[in-house]
A and B are shown apart, each in its own frame.
Chain A
Amino acid sequence: MRSPVLSVEDLRTHLKTPDGRLRAVDGISLNLRAGETVALLGESGCGKSMTALSLMRLVPQPAGIHAGGRILLGQGDAQVDLLGLPEVALRRIRGKRIGMIFQEPMSALNPVLSVGEQIAEVLRLHRGLDGAVIRQAGIDLLNEVGMPDPARRWQEYPHQLSGGLKQRVVIAIALAGEPEVLIADEPTTALDVTIQAQILDLLARIQRERGMAMLLITHDLAVVADVADRVAVMYAGRIVELAPRDELFSRPRHPYTRALFRSLPGPDRRGGDLSVIPGTVPPLTQTLPACHFADRCRHAWSDCRARPPAWQGDAQTGVLCHLYDPDYPDHPPPDDALEETPDAGNAITDSPAPADAGPAALSLKGIRVHFPIQKGVFKRTVGHVYAVDGVSLDITPGQTLALVGESGCGKTTLGRAAAQLIRPTEGRIQLGGSNLTDAPRAQLKRSRSDLQMIFQDPFSSMNPRLMVGDIIAEGMQAQGLGGNAEKRRQRAAELLEQVGMTRAALDRYPHEFSGGQRQRICIARALAVDPKVIICDEPTSALDVSVQAQVLNLMQRLQRELGLSYLFITHNMAVVAYMAHEVAVMYLGRIVEQGRADEILDNPRHPYTQALLSATPSIREEDRREIIRLKGDLPSPSHPPAGCHFAPRCPQVMDACRRSYPDARHFSDTHSARCLLYPKDG
């Protein structure tokens, strides 16, 4: 076994805050060997990004303090401790021996410098290249990261590139110094599933070819399952479990890891509740003489709260838990079989058959939303963005219709048009029996109480200057429901209890709550006007896995109790599989395939749906399909390609595809797709 190129020993990074010292990284040890990918997995706030910054000695100043430990780079005699080096020496290591890839490709590139200049800067600095050689070396790099037409891209500016291509440039810059260690901080979080698959693939290939060590920081278990050799699970500033990937997924040991796995949504959890981790992460400002997870752990006993656990294992694998400590023979490691939540795994049987359940709760007919592109002083219309281009959907009462698609496909616009926040250019929206599109203002206002919306970002969806009680009561007030102010307040308190919060929240401001709690408040606000249909625009994509489970559980329960219908807009296939009764797949403003959830997930017909499903990383080995590579990015909705919009990226494209947009082909009463690969109906 080779010796590590980077080894971290008992690293401690603290941050000075008004509330005292925040122990962001609280003694972690980790080894990285050449040619190995180690994933650092953790939920937001667990200190994983701070670990990455510490490795580069880029902890924000003056708040950050390196409180202890060693970061040893290199092997044998050439080994240096990064924490002991002066800033000048560090500059020769950053970018040269350790490369870093950031999460947000939009902000990692300087918008006023061309791609070439940004790559050349690193080449000049760390490789000492000059003149024409630079350009050649840079173009070679762009080639290596799979940039199409690199010579032309060399001159271009970041805004001319799509998100996926920008991330390739960021990777090229990180590689320009030929580093021994590559740190990738959530490299695919900001990208779509199909692009994410491309980037993960690229990272794996480059790492193999160059024999680098890679530290992949992520919150996404599925990404870990795809590329990591070893996984370090981080919780509240400490590594709680370290194991080879396959071992971790087949036999997780630490109670936190196990709870995390159980809170993942997926098709096998349908109909049942997801298991949740109770409580919250303890504040890292206090020193705990205990296991950080003790308060949320179902196996914890008195010793867990009295003494910090000792690391059980070696530098390659191990777990930080009293259960695995041979000193406590009374507490054996938990048994897998006993831990399965009893109600998980129930089939879809409890949901009524979708067909002929009366009129649709919400019915969209031929919705088009076109935004004019205006130019010049006189605002002449020079074109249109075809954000939504003829979509028809029916939502069955009491059921969930998932609308799936990549960003930019128009799914959010469709959701807002359905909620009458944007007037559709064309088409009809029917809610229950009434038509909304040409309804008079007063009727539209009344009907708003039947149709509510939950938004993606729990931080911007509530007015920071109103108290929670007022936020929830606002809808009732606007709709004239709920009697007087006192009764409305009473009702708001009941709603809060209904979404699993206490009435003490009434007099507090939104910023005092965590993301998951805010999303609950948003749900309470929507429920306040007794809606029949709720449009959920990516309600859990900003949340951590364990919090996502709580919110999804709540939404499922409310659907059962109140008979709500959801239009669930998402890009996350695992959530779709858990929540949806029906699925519609959207591509560039149009629905390309729709049907019941089992039909779409088990038997996708449209090549786009197939690619989308195959590109979704999965933690289960047996679920992993051959990934269908899609070329390029989503085309611009202002100039959709002729014929089938998907044709330019389709792996099974035929000549006929480029001529006209295909009609719907039906495979069953509910399942249809718009693709020429299948024979016409009848």
Chain B
Amino acid sequence: MPVFLWTDFLLYLLLAGIGLFVFFAARSKPLREPWLRVFRSRMGMASAVVLLAFAIIGILDSVHFRPLQAQAGQDGQPRYAAQIVSVLDVIAGDLAERTEQTYSAPFATRSYVQQVVTDEAGNTRQIFPRLAHGGAHLEGESASVPLDVALRGAAGAIQGLIVWLALAALLVLLLSRRRGLPATTRALWHDQTPLRWRAALLTAAVIAALGGAIIELAGHYHVLGTDKVGQDVLLQAVKSIRTGLLIGTLTTLVMLPFALVLGVMAGYFKGWVDDVIQYLYTTLSSIPGVLLIAAAVLMLQVYMENHPELYRTTTERADLRLLFLCMILGITSWTGLCRLLRAETLKLVELDYVQAANALGVGHMRIMARHILPNVMHIVLIQIVLDFSALVLAEAVLSYIGVGVDPSTESWGNMINGARLEMSRDPVVWWPLAAAFFFMLALVLAANLFADVVRDAFDPRLRGGTGDDSHTPDEQHAQSNVGAR
């Protein structure tokens, strides 16, 4: 039985919005041109593929349902489990159930923690016990773990590459409709296609090989180890992708209308409108943000405890809390962007083309929508991406002081939060933190690189001539920007 959580619903809405935009963009040249320019850059193509991989995982993890149970109910109606699972959980299979007793390092066959056992003779010994699932297929002590990992990893990678080959063949067939198969293959090989498909395919190949190897290994080992209660860290990190994406996108969705409407209005109308909006955001930004969020989240917790009818399961409760966290973060974080937009609008209003539109008798709304908004979009875009990483980090900080996402929600924030005890252990438990770190890094870096390419493509001032083959400076520019940050 399908289940729609609130955040799922908003995510679908966001996807529908993107779909609608793609539909219109495909028909209108001015909308399509800059996006095509994005994909004419190798960096843009590659980072888009990485983001797409994250997005697919996030979406798979957002299709929730209650699985059908084996025996039907008393009245013949099918019975559903109380537990809500996502498609990703189904794909992961029994990985969630294969828990160990406690910490184990990546690819370990034995526990990381010594245990006192009593053997048949009655002697008590301290040993590192064998794991229940990690490397359980290996016979005896003599088997070489590195060799087994290498073999299975290679096999998985090859399987991944086979899938990739199928995808690549499909792409080539699609591309070759116009130019014929040999010409297309040659163009692809020499990277001479109008859009940089070769970069996309290479990135996809890396992802496929890596993914194939990990899927294969995850069936036999704990690839990224286990946490304190013996749960697989890899699964946690992957499940956290959805939380990260949601906090990054939904918060922006909440924050954007405030920032756009208020910022542009303040800059355009000036006078008392500007005064009111300025006082509003000055006041709001002078209250410590964490205090405001903590107060709101604590109030919400009390409210939710008093109104248990709002949710049926713990999953729904955690989801509701995630949604409110996004909204609270959105409401407290629009001031920065609003201020930037106000300043930019003040500058744009003085430009001759706005004056010319005035002289032509164009209305205020239309001037704002046609002349101001498109010309501040690059600021919005950059701010969104910078905020994206900042929000993912904010989630970690909030989880640390106990006002973040629900403790039962998998999130990088919760993982990093847990790591503060693990880091002070001796010997140190480093893998949960490292896992969260690398997943976050990959996501944020890809998003940053992509945004830089998008900005260059959308900013007409940076565009020289035809723009067909100007990918090299674009990339250099993007890289230097990332370096500067």
Contacts and interface: CB of A to CB of B under 8 A. Distances in A.
Contacts of B353: 460-463
Interface stretch (A266-274, A441-449, A657-665): A441-449
Interface string A428-471: 00000000000000001110110111011100111111110000
A522 B358 CA distance: 14
A525 interface: yes
Contact of B357 (A419, A420, A467, A474): A474
A541 to B, nearest CB: 13
Interface string A606-642: 0000000000000000000000000000000000000
Contacts of A478: 357, 360-363, 366
B360 A522 contact: no
B463 interface: yes
Contacts of B29: 507
A419 B375 CA distance: 25
Given A455-B356, A464-B460, A18 B362 contact: no
B361 A479 contact: yes
A509 interface: yes
B194 to A, nearest CB: 17
A421 B359 contact: yes
B375 A463 contact: yes
A474 B354 CA distance: 12
A460 B354 CA distance: 9
A417 interface: no
Contacts of B469: 18
A529 interface: yes
Which of A444, A465, A511 is the most central at the interface, judged by chain B CB atoms within 10 Å of its CB?
A: A465
Contact of A464 (B356, B375, B470): B375
Interface residues of B, number: 28
Contacts of A397: none
B463 A511 contact: yes
A19 interface: yes
A66 interface: no
B473 interface: yes
A47 interface: no
A525 B356 contact: yes
B356 A511 contact: no
Interface residue SS majority, chain B = helix
Which of B356, B470, B473 is the most central at the interface, judged by chain A CB atoms within 10 Å of its CB?
A: B356
Given A421-B358, A421-B359, A475-B361, A465 B464 contact: no
Interface string B350-387: 01110111111111001000110011000000000000
Given A455-B352, A511-B463, A474 B360 contact: yes
A489 interface: no
B466 to A, nearest CB: 9
A465 B375 contact: yes
Contacts of B472: 18
Contacts of B355: 416, 421, 453, 455
B377 to A, nearest CB: 8
Nearest to B366: A478
A351 B357 CA distance: 32
Contacts of B357: 474, 478
A20 to B, nearest CB: 11
A467 B30 contact: yes
B366 A18 contact: no
Contact of B360 (A461, A475, A511): A475
Contacts of A509: 460
B320 to A, nearest CB: 40
B359 A511 contact: no
Nearest to A510: B460
Interface in B318-352: 351-352
Nearest to B30: A467
12 contacts: A448-B360, A455-B352, A457-B352, A462-B353, A463-B371, A464-B461, A465-B30, A467-B30, A474-B360, A474-B362, A478-B357, A478-B363
Interface of B: 29-30, 351-353, 355-363, 366, 370-371, 374-375, 460-461, 463-465, 469-470, 472-473
Given A19-B464, A460-B353, 5 more contacts: A421-B355, A456-B352, A463-B371, A474-B360, A478-B362
